[in-house]
Structure 1
């Protein structure tokens, strides 16, 4: 036998399903509804195979085996027998190489090929084995290189037979099947990023309200669901909720033990050192340790004692190794604020040296044997760029700018034993505005940035901030799939992912249509986050005469209305059993976001007309009030789903922002009624907004040189897609290299012209501040345009702050080059690749 390596974790199943049953039946250990030569009957005549895990197996594997047996029952309708020995018949046998008598016996007898598996990180193999034991004609053997490898091998089978990782967290129903066969052979897989996980953050009021109502708090009963989801997504690391008053290890003593028993690596967020939740510093203040100034220079003794307690708790498992953890080192100011810059670098270096001494003392091993991470978040990255040294075995965790643009990545000379990682955001509290309510992430942008990270060598830890988990199901699913096998998440796999996700969630009938809804929703949502909307966000058109011109605002509303109509048409085709999941994953985000646009659009017209004494303002006041009521009704409907299962999860304030911070209480935006009755009801002309120019993907010629090739990334940005030179992560090129795109343009008049390049906002990840792109006309000289964008996520009013604010608010950059005295007629506009990480969405010559 030999191992056959396939795609990206559960993406193997998802995208394989798109190819149809015939292709699936031809690949090793793939799902068929009919038996073939040497196939394993996982479910036959409605009866599932027994599941065998030895009694001495690691608890993580026993938990996963229980879940897998339950999944077999969900699919077949009958309970799957749990065994500790093979017995008779055709069982599923799961174990860890070197820790399972059954697995090791099969390997020693040559019946199970485990070559190359030992020592791999979280690798697994699924093999159909003939006559493995007396009385057993055939078995499906799942072997892991370690405990999580075996766990992933079982959960991968669950995904293959149609149990979505979101079966509980999004109520995705499981289709019943009377027959499931797995083709003969061996399927093998393992991750390419070592630590992969998410951060539950900004969890009040939504997740905390929901957990309080249903579990009594953020306790082990709630986290059991989170751990299962994380592992089903093939993640392994969790940063738990930490907004006051939450502290994972201190809130419920069961949390720590359950995480380890499930096989989850626990960490703490970027500003919580040595396994301590920040809120713990403000608890138990009578113990003589906690409380006081969060200031190492003045209160180092107490801080060291506080951190020692976190490490001692980590080691309390009593096996000499402790609970599996990824320890955060370093320090930020109290409340996740910056430290004093003048003394920060030497102070931080001293703090980390002291923390590592504590790690060595408490664990009884060199600090280098305990996995550690130092998050270079916000100003801490500046310290690193200015010469701050970091111990070689510590993982350096770079961050994005909190809005999806990675700030810094390793360069070729920065190789280190601890490796590098990325902390990314789907949720954020801070300038220029919080975004916490609903999904606003394009997976295409996530792919572009994280593919860049992978190509540049950030491969040790990928961590994403997901707020309350819901309603970020789709982008989280994608992030974890890309983290499992980044090299396999090609642009083609990316393009197929929305449909594949929809197929796993809703089956094949509406998969393409639902995938298109998910994609279009994300495009519209990313253009302006809902917390940034108000009555002044976009301009209205003219209000002269009977017909009102909606202008740019009206065009946005029309886009959302078109999406609503498509969503409702698809909903009518979705079976009743899938309506709850459809509402959570598709209908609610589209309906709620579209309604928000209607609310502010009506407020905008009301204020404009009321200021003129135009009685038509009253109709818009009524519409605004109706939209505000619809928002509350959508929330109530969400909370009533599944008998109130999600009550509390949509309590996040999202209307009425006046600063970066959320309003304390959500309130209806003020509207005015005027005296009189409108003699002419409001009527609109068709809103037309001409974006101008050419979609970047509609080039005439792409010149690929210097080992680079232009690739259209479908749907990235606001239009049809964007152009990226692949592979990413390569050094700058010159005009002489000739890597360029060419666009044919016919001008009807002579004169001065301005070339405009619309880019997705990105940052110079090499440690500089500028990204360059070239533009030329015909055979003329190349003008080098420099996009200087510096993250400044504070409340300052500097030019850099305003520039960055505008970029992240509008989610685009426009660069201009002037060409004087251009003749009428045919021309070629050329865009030249100079620096990496420049993403071209649109070109124009005006």
Structure 2
């Protein structure tokens, strides 16, 4: 559909690829022209959700044009045009059109949540032409209505992210028939969880709500429907009001068409955090004691507690959580059952009791029923809990986006089907991420494709925290839930471009998508909420922390450049959706970078620079507070007061303000030198290779506070220095390069000599420091002849997507997933349903091949950086070999324990798992490194071979020289981090 008179800023495209349109060549259907709007008809007897949504269409047309259509419940006696909204079987006028063959409902009638939008001539007596929006059921009709709203320029995020609506005087939609077929996943929704910020905001702004009440839920319900979702687990924590506290909440949800369920610790819609204590108070034992929430101790009291809610909510379309955990998301309490078999028996009794309650109080409407084997309940389920076949199994991830377990053949055959509970936001061990949307969409795509391939299509629930900040990830997840096959492995950035174009205009979509992709990549290296002291090295690989922080600085500049091109009306939405996340993540990293430089300066004995770095760290923290205050108090006129807070009191181990050290002023000056690769001094030579054509730094600093004059001199004319001297009070960074046109071939030792003298001779510590250089020049011809990755500096670093060849075998293969992992993409072993390759992988398993040119010989460690996927029923194995040498099989991490400090915790914090084997290089020259799939769904990000010079660092070193994939390793590198 198109909006006549629209500027190119807002595209008129529909997001769902599951929808199909067919052109018929007829003229567009006007909705508003000449200041008059076409009336909207909906039968008053249709479902209340449909009648309400028709009212939203009425409001949306007014948002676009300023003209409000009349909403009718009776057909007009005479109308040139009319919008007809109705549900098959609930709207007589719609049913008559179907019966007469005037409305095409093929692949719509009898389907789940499907719809057709079609222009029909003479649909009723006195009506010349109508735009008919008809659904197979009530939500199908609602989605058809919101499809039309989005296509005339009203974003699903018009309210929740302040995406403006382009004003038009004339509005029309094409007359082509449009169908939305049924979704890939039946129930698609969110869990509002760890909702402290949302609670604060609701309390401050959503009168008469207090701590998330009906006014807030009205906004949530509408957003869900506009995103084509249908399901909700409401907020549950002590600081928010529980859903059923307001009895209008479940009635509202039903009137909107939202299915309401409850999370894994909230059986049968009961919120134990709020509701158990008063119930227990009313049901004291004969001795006056309060009953505990333990089914082995108080089964009768607990059963009655569940029954009361089942009876209370029986009339509404609800989802019923079966099973039991402790109060407030804690482990199951079983005082009288201590062993696993005993606990399994208790869980079986609980399920039987709950099923009986639902049968008696709700009857056949008690569906869907779900069982969530979360944390310790998964162990009990695997040990023998009997879940009736018609209950949907909801498989949880590990809270960090890695599915723990997927259904086997028997579980896939169950009539109740399978679903997932997936985190886009999380509170808990080992660290929380609630502040920003930081899970790579490519990671979401990989895991959701995998679960769907395993038959998990009944229910997808996404933990979205406070809703705000997860806008992009939630939209992407809901689009996938509707049409899981819409995007391929190389299409995720295109999906981001399409979504960004819908919010800010197609001409900006690709650049915003590129910005978001880089933002997610940096978060994949380390989420900003996970940052800590001493993670990124300030001395290795050209200042690892500085390179990362400079990448953020470049990204923020790109984001601001796009924002400056947008009309003023779009600035609030752009700040919320693009600029604030980039800026906030940057500042979180920046303050820790400067704090690390401060700590290093203390160890190096620096003077004024030590305090300078402390000032920069604290300034970054203050700027972070300032932009958050702007979000809460200025953006959209202060609409979001309290919605953003990187450090709500309930978050454990939030990064916060890093500690810094200041030194007392010393009325002295003195020369200090620290070369790259050295915390102090210059004992480790600066390494240069004609393949990578490196740039290395030497920090020249003052050990005091008075002015220091310094000079630097190179031992050879082909050594270039960015600066050869001057005066300094704090420090300067000198960049050292080699003029490769002048240096002779071979290996050379050179030096850079730094001398210093104070301006006042009675207060100076004079000195001279020699910085050694090791320069290896194999010549331009050797560089040109190289066919693969070339060893330099004592290592080979490979981005896994840069293969020489990918070999498919045994019905399986490796594919590239763009935008996944720490670099430009990762390679994934597919299909995810393939059988493991036991035996010799070199004979039967799909393979990745990399050409590597070694100059060293020996036995060297090779580390495969794989993404930390899980499979608690199987293995996480990959294999490596060099040339035709024997294959080494590497096994991945153990199951997710939730314990801090174990392998799983380290891996999810880092976003990778490092698996190490050894390879033997008997002769220098070209070799082939081979990586084999052993288990499916393994994803490999990077590969590093340490030939004796690899320093300890968090990230893999920059990729080695490759004539095709990395011919200019220095391109795009920033020299220094701006002192903001």
* TM-score, normalization by structure 1: 0.90
The 2-side partners of 1:772 and 1:12 are apart by: 43
> Which of the numbers 220, 224, 231 marks the counterpart of 2:218?
224
State the match for 1:798 in structure 2. none
- Structure 1 position 587, deviation (Å): 0.7
CA-to-aligned-CA distance 1:637-665 (integer Å, 9 cap, x gap): 0012111100001134179x9xx8246x9
The 2-side partners of 1:157 and 1:29 are apart by: 16
Give SS of 2:139's match: helix
Give SS of 1:90's match: strand
Question: Does the alignment pair 1:751 with 2:858?
Answer: yes
The 2-side partners of 1:531 and 1:844 are apart by: 27
Task: Describe the shift of the 1:47–1:760 C-alpha distance in structure 2 as closer, same or farther (beyond 3 A).
Answer: farther
State the match for 2:387 in structure 1. 390
Query: Taking CA–CA contacts closer than 8 Å with sequence separation of 6 or more, which of the two structures ends up with the larger relative contact order?
Result: 1
The 1-side partners of 2:511 and 2:851 are apart by: 34
State the match for 1:822 in structure 2. 922
- In the TM superposition, 1:571-590 aligns within 5 A as 571-590=563-582
> Which of the numbers 94, 99, 111 marks the counterpart of 2:90?
99
- Whether the aligned pair in 2 keeps the contact of 1:607 and 1:672 (CA below 8 Å) is no
The 1-side partners of 2:574 and 2:232 are apart by: 27
The 1-side partners of 2:453 and 2:817 are apart by: 17
The 2-side partners of 1:51 and 1:29 are apart by: 24
CA-to-aligned-CA distance 1:670-721 (integer Å, 9 cap, x gap): 5434323364224346799999522222212222343334321111011110
> Which of the numbers 174, 178, 181 marks the counterpart of 1:182?
174
- Whether the aligned pair in 2 keeps the contact of 1:97 and 1:103 (CA below 8 Å) is yes
How many correspondences in the alignment? 799
State the match for 1:3 in structure 2. none
Task: Describe the shift of the 1:284–1:353 C-alpha distance in structure 2 as closer, same or farther (beyond 3 A).
Answer: closer
> Which of the numbers 270, 274, 281 marks the counterpart of 2:276?
281
Task: Describe the shift of the 1:607–1:819 C-alpha distance in structure 2 as closer, same or farther (beyond 3 A).
Answer: closer
The 2-side partners of 1:89 and 1:782 are apart by: 76
> Which of the numbers 418, 425, 428 marks the counterpart of 2:423?
425
State the match for 1:112 in structure 2. 103
State the match for 1:790 in structure 2. 895
The 2-side partners of 1:715 and 1:434 are apart by: 23
Task: Describe the shift of the 1:72–1:492 C-alpha distance in structure 2 as closer, same or farther (beyond 3 A).
Answer: farther
Which deviates further from its counterpart, 572-581 or 604-613? 604-613
The 2-side partners of 1:474 and 1:289 are apart by: 48
> Which of the numbers 574, 594, 609 marks the counterpart of 2:601?
609
> Which of the numbers 186, 195, 209 marks the counterpart of 1:194?
186
Give SS of 2:931's match: strand
State the match for 1:669 in structure 2. 659
State the match for 2:318 in structure 1. 325
State the match for 2:309 in structure 1. 310
- Structure 1 position 476, deviation (Å): 0.6
State the match for 1:153 in structure 2. 144
The 1-side partners of 2:224 and 2:491 are apart by: 22
State the match for 1:374 in structure 2. 371
> Which of the numbers 218, 237, 240 marks the counterpart of 2:231?
237
- In the TM superposition, 1:420-569 aligns within 5 A as 420-541=418-539, 551-569=543-561
- Whether the aligned pair in 2 keeps the contact of 1:40 and 1:184 (CA below 8 Å) is no
- In the TM superposition, 1:155-174 aligns within 5 A as 155-174=146-165
Query: How well do the aligned residues superpose, as a CA RMSD in angstroms?
Result: 2.7
- Whether the aligned pair in 2 keeps the contact of 1:29 and 1:127 (CA below 8 Å) is no
- Structure 1 position 505, deviation (Å): 0.7
The 2-side partners of 1:840 and 1:374 are apart by: 33
Task: Describe the shift of the 1:572–1:197 C-alpha distance in structure 2 as closer, same or farther (beyond 3 A).
Answer: same
- Whether the aligned pair in 1 keeps the contact of 2:893 and 2:903 (CA below 8 Å) is no
- Whether the aligned pair in 1 keeps the contact of 2:26 and 2:176 (CA below 8 Å) is yes
The 1-side partners of 2:893 and 2:618 are apart by: 43
Give SS of 1:509's match: helix
State the match for 1:69 in structure 2. 58
> Which of the numbers 860, 873, 876 marks the counterpart of 1:771?
876
The 2-side partners of 1:460 and 1:571 are apart by: 40
CA-to-aligned-CA distance 1:251-274 (integer Å, 9 cap, x gap): 322111101100000001111001
The 1-side partners of 2:98 and 2:70 are apart by: 25
Which deviates further from its counterpart, 530-539 or 562-571? 530-539
> Which of the numbers 52, 74, 81 marks the counterpart of 2:41?
52
Question: Does the alignment pair 1:211 with 2:202?
Answer: yes
The 2-side partners of 1:834 and 1:312 are apart by: 52
The 1-side partners of 2:460 and 2:537 are apart by: 40
- Structure 1 position 47, deviation (Å): 4.7
Higher radius of gyration, 1 or 2: 2
- Structure 1 position 131, deviation (Å): 2.3
Task: Describe the shift of the 1:596–1:683 C-alpha distance in structure 2 as closer, same or farther (beyond 3 A).
Answer: farther
State the match for 1:711 in structure 2. 815
Relative to its length, the structure with more helix (as a share) is: 1
CA-to-aligned-CA distance 1:235-282 (integer Å, 9 cap, x gap): 101000000143534332211110110000000111100111122112
The 1-side partners of 2:809 and 2:606 are apart by: 63
- Whether the aligned pair in 1 keeps the contact of 2:845 and 2:934 (CA below 8 Å) is no
Gaps of 5+ in 2: 1-10, 667-704, 708-728, 738-791, 947-980
Task: Describe the shift of the 1:519–1:15 C-alpha distance in structure 2 as closer, same or farther (beyond 3 A).
Answer: farther
The 2-side partners of 1:112 and 1:825 are apart by: 71
Task: Describe the shift of the 1:299–1:534 C-alpha distance in structure 2 as closer, same or farther (beyond 3 A).
Answer: same
State the match for 1:683 in structure 2. 732
The 2-side partners of 1:136 and 1:201 are apart by: 49
- Structure 1 position 14, deviation (Å): 3.8
- Whether the aligned pair in 1 keeps the contact of 2:492 and 2:819 (CA below 8 Å) is no
State the match for 1:598 in structure 2. 590
Gaps of 5+ in 1: 1-9, 18-23, 316-321, 543-548, 796-800
The 1-side partners of 2:428 and 2:921 are apart by: 46
- Structure 1 position 36, deviation (Å): 4.7
The 1-side partners of 2:61 and 2:374 are apart by: 44
Which deviates further from its counterpart, 436-445 or 723-732? 723-732
- Whether the aligned pair in 2 keeps the contact of 1:274 and 1:310 (CA below 8 Å) is yes
Question: Does the alignment pair 1:805 with 2:921?
Answer: no
Question: Does the alignment pair 1:356 with 2:350?
Answer: no
Task: Describe the shift of the 1:11–1:199 C-alpha distance in structure 2 as closer, same or farther (beyond 3 A).
Answer: farther
- In the TM superposition, 1:131-146 aligns within 5 A as 131-146=122-137
